[in-house]
Amino acid sequence: VEPLKVGICGLGTVAQGVLSVIQKNTALINRRAGRIIEISVVASRNPRPEVDLHGATFSNDIFEIPLRNELDVIVELIGGEDDASKVIKLALENGKHVVTANKAVMAIYGEKLLQAASASKLSLGFEGAIAGSVPIVMNLTEALIANEYELIAGIINGTSNYILTAMEKEQKTFQDALREAQDLGYAEADPKYDIEGVDAAHKLSILSALAFGTSLNFEKVHIEGISSITLNDIKYAELLGYSVKHLGITRRAENGVELRVHPCLVSSEHLMSRVEGSMNAVLVSGNAAGETLLAGPGAGALPTASAVVGDIMRAARSNFMPITVGESGPHILPIADAINPHYLRIPSLDRTGVFAKVATILSDYNISIDAAIQNEQIAVDEGDEGWVPIVILTHAVSESIMVEALEKVQKLPDIVGSITRIRVEHLGTDSK
Amino acid sequence: VEPLKVGICGLGTVAQGVLSVIQKNTALINRRAGRIIEISVVASRNPRPEVDLHGATFSNDIFEIPLRNELDVIVELIGGEDDASKVIKLALENGKHVVTANKAVMAIYGEKLLQAASASKLSLGFEGAIAGSVPIVMNLTEALIANEYELIAGIINGTSNYILTAMEKEQKTFQDALREAQDLGYAEADPKYDIEGVDAAHKLSILSALAFGTSLNFEKVHIEGISSITLNDIKYAELLGYSVKHLGITRRAENGVELRVHPCLVSSEHLMSRVEGSMNAVLVSGNAAGETLLAGPGAGALPTASAVVGDIMRAARSNFMPITVGESGPHILPIADAINPHYLRIPSLDRTGVFAKVATILSDYNISIDAAIQNEQIAVDEGDEGWVPIVILTHAVSESIMVEALEKVQKLPDIVGSITRIRVEHLGTDSK
């Protein structure tokens, strides 16, 4: 068999990881792939003479690589959206298999790119785009393929999870935890993309399309980040038996598909609550398999390279199936239709009768209370100026009703600050 | 495309699960498989007229099914070893793809069967043989294929995990927990196969061969079950920061491959310690991916059917790769070479100086002590007759040295009963 000739566009962290994995596992990779996998050329606009290309040639023209006749596979690792999608498009047009770890490109242009790949019987692998070495794409599209999917819920942004874990385990404030994440290189200097949920929304829109056959609906994802979560919320959640996790959730409901990224209270009994630090985890609930959970390193050069090289090897073995999305799927439900229990933290004047007033309003909207805490002692920087937090856990209620009720509560003269509301997500543990 | 015609041998729980999954997910299964999947015939020596075969014909001759010209795939779900392996062999000889959920057959005859399948370019799917709906076979043979594997460690027997969890969470004795598992149908009337580790050893020998290319070495697995674990051990382990889990472990060491099934102390900080009840979980450590963990229902009609139907669909799509084992692998290390920290519970007379004598012997063998407990209060039914348990956690030491040292300790006149020894397994959490 001829060697498989690969061109890599990009020479950043992940590209270097790919070079390194192929170098150190050469013998087993060639044996398992059934042919030699040869990195012929690496292209980047930023030459890095210090990187050992292990015999590959270098080009500074990323757009030339997809056109080269001798190449079988183009690996897109340049990041960004426009140039990356152009490279992928060119490669598919020129009959090359493509592997990418670019979630933004897949979330925005993925549908057309997958159609193009499928029409030309080419592989478009993107396992590395979602959760590092966690093989969620293959599990959704192959291993669990006999299932009607009911729910995909995942910790799919390692930076956010790192920060929330540092808050929970080390009692750090959000700001301190963020700074620590930045110092350790987990968070970018401008961390908005991660902590405001955009990165997770990119990944979730891909997972939702894979699971439910919907279009790639990045623009319809309801997105909330973690910057409004305080250490107090984490402590109250813990008292109530929950951890605060930032989840991407997509669920098949009666009239459509839910698609939302936001902080959640997750039961401390559920495995998901124990996924810590920069680790990622995705729970898949199917009507035959029950709930399976896949966890592992969600980012990093080598874990992402593990997924990328796996995709290259599948192309080498011609062992891939077309992935189609957007064919048949149900529509995306607005966030107003989501039904969840809610955690509420209501800053109120420290006087009798306030709780009763709040409870009365909730009751008027048929929102029942599951648990409540009024305990100043665990609060940090609260209660200093004559106010106390009322913490309430409600039973499940539709988002729109909750929002309406809270508007009324917020207007009570006893309420001295903005109400914090966090959805509670019951992930369950039983197979159905 | 022609429909894929399937014959099922067996009509027990899993076979009924397969019929049920194909019935309820017909539309999506046919769409995703790209062709109609038709169960043509079901064969069993025990007719069950009460089971709806959804249009399939019935035969009471399981050996006739693999010979039928019109069938494309034979699904072996009869259990046992001899007849089941005969059915699979016949099917492969007659050019049929095969799907099985039979771990015993795969552990014992798998190597030859995989060779036969590979030589005839046929699929032999056995995802359902290992951990129910947890897609560990596909992850090892495809998704994580770029990795040199370092360690596979799994909770791969749901019955044992159910019992250990009931002991830990509900303070049940082993006997009470076992009885409960039997009442709930998790454990057989004769539970030996599960609780003595044979079932886990079957599965582990398959995982080890997949990961390390060794032969299927069921007969070389070091096997210990959970029947010697007491509630006291679980309580002491908890005090020391560990849970007791029954793991199958296979690890690449310098001179070969470790292959062992036994109870372990697993750090309470590790996700594996939170895998509870009848759930299964497999941790895969690779030199690129780092540590990934897959968890889910390890048994049951529908979860196993999820894996079996997935394998049928892969055959329908001609989307499978030959799996070869036994080609090149390193040899299996004897248990004497294993290096672990150990938990020791030493029943001793309640008098001063005993601990010093024990510590001196350990020290003579260069075994250092990491932690120790002498605390009667948490013990159940211990210390009643003038004796107390000495509980010691050691640092890592080779099994053979530990065994030798403990022979000496056991002979001390102050030691009044058999010493309990449980290996501590450091699974780690970082990617390398």
Angle between helices B354-364 and B399-411 (to 10 degrees): 150
**A294 contacts B294? CB cut-off 8 A:** yes
Q: What are the chain B neighbours of A297 within 8 Å (beta carbons)?
A: 289-292, 431
**B144 contacts A310? CB cut-off 8 A:** yes
Q: What ipTM was estimated for this complex?
A: 0.94
Cα–Cα dist B312/B301, whole Å:
16
Residues B223-242 have pLDDT tens digits of 999 999 999 999 999 999 99
Neighbours of B70 (CB within 10 A): 8
The pLDDT value given to residue B324: 84
Report in angstroms the alpha-carbon separations of A397 from A131, A226, A273, B32: 31, 22, 23, 35
- For chain B, say whether A72 makes contact (Cβ under 8 Å): no
Cα–Cα dist B266/B286, whole Å:
20
- Please compute, for residue B183, the number of CA atoms within 13 A of its CA located in the half-sphere on the CB side: 7
**B302 contacts A291? CB cut-off 8 A:** no
Nearest to A138 by CA among A15, A284, A18, A329: A284
Residues 6+ apart with CB under 8 A from A313: A29, A32, A33, A37, B145, B146
In which band, very low, low, confident or very high, does the pLDDT at B375 lie, cut at 50, 70 and 90? low
**B139 contacts A135? CB cut-off 8 A:** yes
What average pLDDT does this structure show over B171-190? 87
- For chain B, say whether A27 makes contact (Cβ under 8 Å): no
Nearest to A423 by CA among A389, A396, A401: A396
Report in angstroms the alpha-carbon separations of B211 from B57, B142, B199: 40, 11, 19
Q: Beta strand pairing status for A222-223 and A257-267?
A: parallel
Pick A306's closest partner by Cβ from B33, B133, B286. B286
Which pair of tokens denotes residue B359? 């510590």
The pLDDT value given to residue A188: 72
Yes or no: say if B242 and B272 are a contact pair by the CB < 8 Å rule.
no
**B291 contacts A294? CB cut-off 8 A:** no
Query: Which chain A residue has its CA at the smallest distance from B134's CA?
Result: A292
**A133 contacts B138? CB cut-off 8 A:** no
Q: What are the chain A neighbours of B306 within 8 Å (beta carbons)?
A: 144, 146-147, 286, 288-290
The pLDDT value given to residue A319: 85
- For chain B, say whether A306 makes contact (Cβ under 8 Å): yes
Q: Return the percentage of chain B with pLDDT > 70, whole number.
A: 96
Asked if the model's pLDDT at residue A148 lies above 90, the reply is yes
Distance between A275 CA and the closest CA of chain B, angstroms: 7
Q: What are the chain B neighbours of A320 within 8 Å (beta carbons)?
A: 319
The pLDDT value given to residue A382: 58
Buried b (16+ CB within 10 A) or exposed e, B221-252: bbbbbbbebbbbbbbbbeebebbbbbbbbbbb
Q: Which residues pair with B249 in a beta bridge?
A: B153, B260
Q: Which residues pair with A250 in a beta bridge?
A: A152, A259
Residue of A121, A168, A243, A302 to mutate for B, most B C-beta atoms under 10 A: A302
What average pLDDT does this structure show over A74-91? 96
CB neighbour class for A61 (10 Å; exposed up to 12, middle 13-18, buried from 19): exposed
Residue of A123, A145, A282 to mutate for B, most B C-beta atoms under 10 A: A145
Distance between B23 CA and the closest CA of chain A, angstroms: 11
Neighbours of A198 (CB within 10 A): 19
How remote is the C-alpha of A327 from its chain's centroid? Answer: 23
Mean pLDDT of chain B: 93
DSSP classification of residue B335:
G
Yes or no: say if A286 and B306 are a contact pair by the CB < 8 Å rule.
yes
Dihedral of the CA atoms A201, A205, A207, A211 (nearest 10)? Answer: 140
Which pair of tokens denotes residue A338? 């989501």
Q: What are the chain A neighbours of B158 within 8 Å (beta carbons)?
A: none
Residues A179-220 have pLDDT tens digits of 999 898 877 777 888 999 999 999 999 999 999 999 998 999
Cα–Cα dist B220/B184, whole Å:
33
- For chain A, say whether B418 makes contact (Cβ under 8 Å): no
Residues B244-282 have pLDDT tens digits of 999 999 999 989 999 999 999 999 999 999 999 999 999
Cα–Cα dist A141/A145, whole Å:
6
Catalytic residue among B203, B220, B235, B245: B203
Active site residues of A: 203
Query: Which chain B residue has its CA at the smallest distance from A212's CA?
Result: B28
Angle between helices B26-33 and B301-316 (to 10 degrees): 30
What average pLDDT does this structure show over A379-400? 82
Cα–Cα dist A67/A93, whole Å:
9
- For chain B, say whether A287 makes contact (Cβ under 8 Å): yes
Question: Three-class SS of residue B199?
Answer: helix
Q: Beta strand pairing status for B149-155 and B242-252?
A: antiparallel
Nearest to B101 by CA among B72, B127, B82: B127
Cα–Cα dist A172/A166, whole Å:
6
Cα–Cα–Cα angle for B213, B217, B218, rounded to 5 degrees: 135
